Amino acid sequence: MLRSLSVIALFSTACSAPDPLAAWSDAELCVRDAPAGDGPIPAPRLLRRAASTFALPSRALVSEGLGLPALAQITGGFVVHVLGGDGAAAIAERCAVDLPEGNDEAYFLAIRADGEVVIAAHHPRGRSRAAALLSQLDARPAFAADWPEVALRGVLEGFYGPAWSFDERAEMLRFTWRARMNTLVWAPKGELLSRIFWRESYSAETKHHLRDLAREARALEVMLCAEVSPGNGIAYGDDLERATLLAKLDGLVALGIDCLALAFDDIPRELRAEDQARYPGGIGEAQADLIGAVFADLALRHPGVRLGFVPTDYSTRAMDEHPEYTRQVAPRVPRSVFLGWTGSDVVSSTVTAADVARVTALWGRPPLMGDNYPVTDGARDSGRLQLGPVVGREAEAIVATEGWIANTLALPRASTIALLTVAEQLWDPARYDAEASWMRATQLIGSERVEALRTLARCARGSALDPREAVALEALADAWVERFPAPSPALAAQLEAMAQVELDPRLSGELDPWSQKLAAYGRAGLGVIGASPDVAALRVEASRLAASPVVICGGVMDAFLARALDRIEAR
């Protein structure tokens, strides 16, 4: 679980205090004799951690207005010295480890056995990422040097269905920071005032929430992006419509939003009557005219705000089906504007370097990947979870993009399992190990009940990226049927774990439908392999479970129960 420490003292080079590094020996600073550390996710490139922990001293030292706002997320007995470029250069020389030039998220972190910490980076973003790593470390001497490969990495709240609550969104922002990602995109399809009713103002409550969220995002060095989707019913050539759209976007900037996206995804291609005569070339010509004017205006009004665009044809397959659209729109989108893309398909099982090169050639710039994983729109309606690690994304493809954001499940806490693996792959794609990352993610999210979470998640890993789930369970179940009536202690142990699954309370509220069905499968399975199975009652239970809309174990248990009961009756 993410470590929470209780009192912080912050010092920075803005103070007139003496250089804190002068009080550290090279052995204390660089921890050279310690082995490579494990546990944090994303895994740092270089992390050395001593074997023994120490007791944090009791402190109550707080220095307001100095150093790093992100450290307010950590509480505890650490005293944290926050250093800038000179401190980073000194550590690089003393520890013989260089940070890459021009990477504003690169950082050093050192922990000494008396509870003092040094964070050093050339940019506030690097200092914020170091603080995020510190939130996952326990109290033992350590040294880390780290930086990401991908410049823009983040989370997209872009699913269909009810949007998250204000509290859930705020917690996702903090998770984004802890996972050392740097972007959160607010684009829920259930926020009708950003889509169908885009001309109307947000409620006072929503504005207050966005203002607070933007303030916290700035403190954490996370970019908060808001998406407006005017494509349903807009009159593209109408001056009043354009003024209304600009006013909507101006209002978001006034709330502190530092990134705006115009999205025209999932809309009809037909134009309104008044636009059909004006734009004989169709929707591509209409959007090109609108976005060319709007982006030029926004660049003048808000030069410090990042801009993004999601085209109507946002997958390569759609671009191939309507090539004239891309030819019309691409020249009007400024190079500085992010281009949203979902890969070869809406949900892409793989993303290759060749895929990225092709869309880059079509649009004249690298895309921003909006990866539709782990999203399952309306998870409670579809009945499906996707709790496995992200796979099928080539490292060469990832580094060739402008950045990468992952669309989440409607269940925010459950999403964090897959999102942590996404964060790790984006941090350092070449070193990504999906299974090792998934083990770290489940450890962090499952906390003291990690094995229960893994029992459930192994039965909920299937997706378009990798359809396999409950692989070990299926092998044990098949072997029992083939060897019947020979006992299988391994299958019995697996079914017992399923029957007794009990998740961390922070997860159970979201995942109860799935954990309850998994437990029922476990009980039914134990009944089947038991000494005196009640075949009639078990068939009724098996039929009830098979008819449930909640999807868990990918049909493995339904098939096992049916085959096992047939074998028992045939004996």
pLDDT digits (tens, 9 = 90+) for 274-318: 999 999 999 999 999 999 999 999 999 999 999 999 999 999 999
Per-residue model confidence (pLDDT) at position 80: 85
Q: Which residues contact 120 (CB under 8 A, 6 or more apart)?
A: 82, 83, 84, 87, 88, 90, 91, 107, 108, 127, 130
Q: What is the percent of the chain with per-residue pLDDT over 70, rounded to a whole number? A: 92
* C-alpha span between 274 and 408 (Å, rounded): 38
The model's pLDDT over 485-526, given as tens digits with 9 standing for 90+, comes to 999 999 999 999 999 999 999 999 999 999 999 999 999 999
Contact 25, 33 (CB under 8 A): no
Secondary structure (DSSP) of 271-318 = PPHHHHHH-TT-HHHHHHHHHHHHHHHHHHH-TTSEEEEE-SS-SHHH
Q: 439 falls in which pLDDT band (50, 70, 90)? A: very high
Residue 243: HSE in the Cβ half-sphere, 13 Å Cα cutoff: 3
Per-residue model confidence (pLDDT) at position 14: 41
Per-residue model confidence (pLDDT) at position 57: 63
For residue 411, what are its two tokens? 């269940």
Q: 5 falls in which pLDDT band (50, 70, 90)? A: very low
- Give me the mean pLDDT over the 201-208 stretch: 98
For residue 427, what are its two tokens? 């941090």
* C-alpha span between 387 and 405 (Å, rounded): 17
Fold classified for 153-432: TIM Barrel (3.20.20)
Reported pTM? 0.94
Fold classified for 9-146: Chitobiase; domain 2 (3.30.379)
* C-alpha span between 252 and 256 (Å, rounded): 7
Taking CA 354 as the corner, what is the angle to CA 352 and CA 358, rounded to the nearest 5 degrees? 125
**Model confidence at 168: pLDDT above 90:** yes
Per-residue model confidence (pLDDT) at position 17: 54
b/e sequence 321-344, b meaning 16+ C-beta within 10 Å: ebeebbebbbebbeeebbbbbbbb
**Model confidence at 71: pLDDT above 60:** no
- For 90, the enclosing helix (H) or strand (E) is helix 85-95
Contact 147, 127 (CB under 8 A): no
Helical pair 450-458 and 471-483, crossing angle rounded to 10 deg: 70
399 or 380: whose pLDDT is higher?
399
Taking CA 148 as the corner, what is the angle to CA 143 and CA 152, rounded to the nearest 5 degrees? 145
User: Strands, DSSP E only, in 321-470?
Assistant: 338-341, 368-371, 403-407
Determine the distance from the C-alpha atom of residue 499 to the mean position of all C-alpha atoms in its chain, rounded to a whole number: 30
Query: In which residue are the tokens 């307010």 written?
Result: 72
**Whole-number mean pLDDT of the chain?**
92
Per-residue model confidence (pLDDT) at position 76: 60
Give residue limits of the domains in the chain. 9-146, 153-432, 471-570
Per-residue model confidence (pLDDT) at position 53: 86
Contact 66, 14 (CB under 8 A): yes
For residue 569, what are its two tokens? 């009756």
Per-residue model confidence (pLDDT) at position 60: 37
Q: Which residues contact 440 (CB under 8 A, 6 or more apart)?
A: 38, 39, 40, 41, 43, 420, 424
Q: 7 falls in which pLDDT band (50, 70, 90)? A: very low
Q: 39 falls in which pLDDT band (50, 70, 90)? A: confident
Q: Which residues contact 32 (CB under 8 A, 6 or more apart)?
A: 26, 48, 95, 143
Q: What is the percent of the chain with per-residue pLDDT over 90, rounded to a whole number? A: 85
The model's pLDDT over 315-358, given as tens digits with 9 standing for 90+, comes to 999 999 999 999 999 999 999 999 999 999 999 999 999 999 99
Per-residue model confidence (pLDDT) at position 367: 98
Number of neighbours of residue 540 by Cβ within 10 angstroms? 11
- Give me the mean pLDDT over the 543-567 stretch: 96
**Model confidence at 58: pLDDT above 80:** no
